[in-house]
Amino acid sequence: MTEKYIFSNGRFMRKDNTILFIDHEGNKKSLPIEQIECLHIFGEVDFNSKFFSLMGQENIFIHMYNYYDYYVGSFVPRKKQLSGYVDVQQAMHYSDYKKRMYLAKMFVEGAIHHILRNLKRKKGLTEATIHYIEKERSGINHVEKVDELTGIEGRIRRAYYQAFNKMISDSYFHFSKRERRPPTDPLNALISFGNSRMYTTVLTEVYQTTLNPTISYLHQPTSKRYSLCLDISEIFKPLIVDTVIFSLINNRMLNEKHFDWMESYCYLNTQGKQIFLAEYQKKLKSTIKHRQLKRKVSYKNLIKLEAYKIIKHVIYDEIYKPLKAWW
């Protein structure tokens, strides 16, 4: 199973039991449905109800992004893995503040571990940042409110991002500060693009379990997002997205020709997106030897395993401990 990316404008239609994409120039491309797990739509694309019916039947996700690469929404197939009991237990762990705080702290702990892991690869240049983050980290056990916890997490990420200039070798990607909407330089554009992909990857994996992706602990649940996916993404952004960014820059795979500008807004052009996504998929497919399972597991499967660990925690089967890369 693979993920397909559509950058052209055009139209999707159902053809028998497969799908056909017709681009704006009339070129037709048949996509073998049995090989597709997700479609990512970056162009302006038309659909019809027969197409969505087939996507739901085949359990294929569709994630859509606007012209500026912002994630705008998803078509999510009807959930096949349901558990009222897990829903109730998730809600109870949210409504019980101590239980919520425990999970929120674990998500932050997992994120900090991977942030420090990245920094320690350039320890000679980032030692001051490491000491600052470790000092901030020591305060986590003493906070009693989620907003205090997110305050610590926010200060740690600001310090981490400020250290990016010491971890990359190309001055074109010089970093001043994190700016999301809109990104104002190439590095911010890469981070925003990668983080949106991380969110959709987590959503796809979580949706294949009995977890309810709308009940979250670190991020406040809302009616407009799958906020549990934001919680879990915190653990994996420095482990996957940031390491992909460092690899692309330090190996000279991206440069100024891969970015476009609109006034003060910077974003990846189609060629830049294709290069990023190829490296991102390569990372997701790469494997490590899992210490508990005693077998090779892909980075993508680590995300689903994290979801199963949360399920075990909320049903009181096993205390949740976040992934902390040991390799």
pLDDT digits (tens, 9 = 90+) for 157-179: 999 999 999 999 888 998 888 88
Q: How confident is the model over 97-144, as pLDDT tens digits?
A: 999 999 999 999 999 999 999 999 999 999 999 999 999 999 998 999
Q: Which CATH architecture has domain 2-75?
A: Ribosomal Protein L15; Chain: K; domain 2 (3.100)
Pick the CATH number of 84-314 from 1.10.357.10, 1.20.120.920, 3.20.20.70, 3.90.1260.10: 1.20.120.920
| Residue ranges of the chain assigned to CATH 1.20.120.920 | 84-314
| Residue ranges of the chain assigned to CATH 3.100.10.20 | 2-75
| Sheet hosting strand 28-31, strand order edge to edge | 28-31, 18-23, 10-15, 45-46
The segment with the largest mean pLDDT, out of 18-22, 76-80, 82-86, 127-131, is 127-131
Average pLDDT, the chain: 92
Is 40 assigned to a binding site?
no
Instruction: Please report the DSSP string for 67-100 in residue order.
Output: TTS-EEEEE-PPPSS--HHHHHHHHHHHHSHHHH
| Residue 179 CB contacts under 8 Å (≥ 6 apart), including other chains | 185, 188
Distance between CA atoms of 61 and 3, rounded to whole angstroms? 9
Residue type, 295: R
Calculate the CA 164 to chain-centre distance. Answer: 19
Q: How confident is the model over 269-327, as pLDDT tens digits?
A: 999 999 999 999 999 999 999 988 889 999 999 999 999 999 999 999 999 999 999 99
Q: Rounded to 5 degrees, what angle do the CA atoms 140, 143, 145 make?
A: 125
| Residue 305 CB contacts under 8 Å (≥ 6 apart), including other chains | 297, 323
Residue 223 pLDDT greater than 80, yes or no: no
Q: How confident is the model over 244-267, as pLDDT tens digits?
A: 999 999 999 999 999 999 888 899
Is 37 assigned to a binding site?
no
Is 153 assigned to a binding site?
yes
Burial of 294 (0-12, 13-18, 19+ CB in 10 A): exposed
Residue 318: strand pairing partners:
none
Residue 76 pLDDT greater than 90, yes or no: no
Of 151, 178, 183, 184, which is closest to residue 165 (Cα–Cα)? 178
Which helix (H) or strand (E) segment holds residue 40: the answer is strand 36-41
User: Are 322 and 110 within 8 A, CB to CB?
Assistant: yes
pTM strictly above 0.85: yes
Q: How confident is the model over 178-209, as pLDDT tens digits?
A: 887 788 899 999 999 999 999 999 999 999 99
